[in-house]
Each structure stands twice: as structure tokens, then as C-alpha cells.
Amino acid sequence: MKLNKTSQKIDNNVCKALTVACESALHEVSGFQWLSHRASYTNFPSSLIVTCVFATDADIDTMKLQKQDDMIRNSIQKQLLKVGVVVKNISSAVHFDSEEACLRQHNGEWSDRLALNISKQKPVNNMSKRGKRVRLSH
């Protein structure tokens, strides 16, 4: 879906912020590989989901044991704040995944895997002119 100019500008800023956080994690967290984000800009920033990808499931376990998950989340939140994006619940916005799990469950197809994790949005309860509920698709 093509973004309007305002949404494109927000997305560009999010990309810049996440690039800085990604570079930091690459140097500081063993097994960290890359990150990705997705959002519905009609419900931003509450719809923002950042997926941090590690090489293996064991790398994720080790990272959590060393409490580096908090460091990663704080780095992401700090960089987003620098571009004016306030995420109220960074814990629910940042997810951890692995290349190993994607290969096992989705044959390495990240587009399929990430599509399954699109954040749920609150349903919009609109009434049509006849008083019937109209469901809007996002």
C-alpha cells in the first residue's frame, strides 16, 4: 500500500531511528542479525511493531538471560523519541524472532512470517446512514 506524504515522512523517520538502534545492537548483542518494522499509519504509533531478528532461538534465550532485551527496547525507544515518535508500551511493540524459527516454520519466508504478526487494531464502530454497523477494513 502506498503511503501518503505525511505517513511516508513518519516512516522515513522511523527507519532512520531504527537504523541507529540496529547498528548499536549489532555491536553489543551476540547473535543479533537485523530488525524490521511494520505499522498501520492510521493508528500510529500504537500499531508500530518492531521485530528484532537473531540467528538462533538459543541466541534469543541467551540475550534474555543477560537482560539485553531491556537494553534493546530502551535503545529503540530512545531513538524513536529523537524523531518524535512516542511509544507508550515499548515491551509490546518490540518482538524477538530468529532466522532458525523462520526457516523451521515458514521455510525462510520472512514476508509470510511477518504478515502473520500484524498488530490487531481496535475495531471501528461506525454507523451507516441506516443505523447499521459498517466494518471498515484497514
Number of domains in the chain: 1
Average pLDDT over residues 9-27: 95
Confidence (pLDDT) at 3: 77
Confidence (pLDDT) at 63: 97
Tell me the pTM: 0.81
pLDDT band at 109 (very low <50, low <70, confident <90, very high): very high
**Pairing of β 32-38 and β 49-54:** antiparallel
- Domain extent, residue 111, equals 5-134
The whole-angstrom separation of Cα 24 and Cα 47 is 24
- Mean pLDDT (the chain, rounded): 85
pLDDT band at 117 (very low <50, low <70, confident <90, very high): low
| pLDDT digits 0-9 by tens, 124-138 | 333 333 344 444 333
